[in-house]
A and B are shown apart, each in its own frame.
Chain A
């Protein structure tokens, strides 16, 4: 396991922790583009997903869009956008948003759709209007699954954000590309370990968030039923 020892040596070398190409800067850049992509995807996809889950119309369309989007090779999208938009962060950011949308959309849609119709029926019976039903009943009850979608999207984006270094001096992907191209596999593996650590950290944060949502928002009495078992990603991470 020489390679791993070399990577650890690389990581513990103080020279790699300072300056504009240092680990802290790259980690922050990586987090920033991940956050930007997932946030943008959420702004685009959450309302649509909730609406579709609420009306229960257009589910087939969601499946088709999500399936097609998942089939797009991110590397291809990135190069095509790169040719159109030039270097910089625009191309990778758009590619990452496209990557994140299906998971966010599906999480929102599945979460809301899986809310027991008896509950929404009761809410209507006590005089809530559709707007109140969506915001005060469906979204809170859907929160664990909805966050599960965001969590899956974040995991994908944080691992794929390394591609940003294909067209920009940005993020942890720089270590991967320059390590690959100059056969400095220790640098490359160190970059990978940093990305994996970042992913693990975000996973734990999301897991905690989901637990909180399940306990506080989606009501402790709510049975661990269909909504939970349906999504493979929203359970205990580790």
Chain B
């Protein structure tokens, strides 16, 4: 690993860039997808169309999306904003359906009981629906986190620095160690995100026991 010993400061810098692109995109995805998922679950008629449209966004290839976004949002092509918006689009596409399922997984009787003891609709959402939806929601967020971190690499194709820069640079210079470092660092970052989310999930659902720790069959098919 001659390359790594000579170039590790660059790897650290690019890891930081990578993080600064993926973290906001992940948070925006959650903030956008959760309300849509909730709406879709409450109003299936609008919801079905919403979910269908959202998941089809995932079929847009990344490169053209990166070109369309500046045209639609007026941000410069080669800017972090373009990348964050693109990643958010994919994140929302992946997450809305899980979000709807997550709210669907909340036992309506619990909700009714909460209303019966005098919770306002807002309070039902924040104190009953959302916390109880967390386990399923989290499973979806984990998938989005991993795929977002991995997708950030395509920013290298439009000149937005990330660990993906190591992929294109290593390719041009013919240094496999550089490409491999880019892949491994990306995967490590994805797994780190995943571990943090699992920890966050434990903190957010203190009532949950091991039985909620499912081996995640459902989100693997997303």
Residues of A within 8 A of B (CB): 3, 59-60, 62-63, 66-68, 70-77, 79-80, 82-84, 102-103, 105-107, 109-110, 113-114, 145, 148-149, 152, 155-156, 158-160, 162, 173, 176-177, 180, 185, 188-189, 191-192, 195-196, 199-200, 203, 229-238
Contacts and interface: CB of A to CB of B under 8 A. Distances in A.
B221 A238 contact: no
Contacts of B61: 159-160, 162, 173, 176, 191-192, 195-196
A82 B180 CA distance: 12
A76 B164 contact: yes
Contact of A176 (B63, B147, B150): B63
Given A73-B182, A83-B176, A237 B52 contact: yes
B8 interface: no
B107 to A, nearest CB: 13
A102 B56 contact: no
A46 to B, nearest CB: 13
B60 A75 contact: no
Q: Which 5 A-B pairs have the closest CB atoms?
A: A106-B220, A192-B64, A199-B59, A110-B217, A71-B190
B104 A113 contact: no
B121 interface: no
A79 B150 contact: no
Contact of A102 (B140, B151, B191, B220): B220
Contacts of B208: none
Contacts of B170: 79
B215 A63 contact: yes
Contacts, number: 179
Given A72-B150, A155-B59, A159-B59, A80 B219 contact: no
Given A71-B186, A176-B61, A229-B101, A66 B220 contact: yes
A216 B61 CA distance: 34
B114 interface: no
Contacts of B174: 83
B10 interface: no
B153 interface: yes
A80 B176 contact: yes
Chain B interface, DSSP helix/strand/loop, else mixed: helix
Interface of B: 48-49, 51-53, 55-56, 58-65, 67-68, 71, 97-98, 101, 104-105, 140, 143, 146-147, 149-151, 153-154, 156-157, 163-164, 167-168, 170-171, 174, 176, 179-180, 182-183, 186-187, 190-191, 194, 215-222
A70 B67 contact: no
Chain A interface, DSSP helix/strand/loop, else mixed: helix
Contacts of B71: 3, 185
17 contacts: A3-B71, A67-B194, A71-B187, A72-B183, A75-B167, A76-B179, A110-B217, A110-B221, A113-B217, A149-B221, A155-B59, A159-B58, A176-B64, A189-B67, A199-B56, A229-B105, A233-B55
Given A75-B154, A180-B157, A231-B221, A70 B183 contact: no
Given A83-B174, A233-B222, A237-B52, A75 B153 contact: yes
Contact of B215 (A62, A156, A233): A62
Nearest to B194: A67
A232 B128 CA distance: 22
A85 B182 CA distance: 19
Nearest to A191: B64
Residue of B97, B168, B183 with most partner-chain A CB within 10 A: B183
Given A83-B171, A191-B64, A70 B221 contact: no
A203 B157 contact: no
B156 A59 contact: no
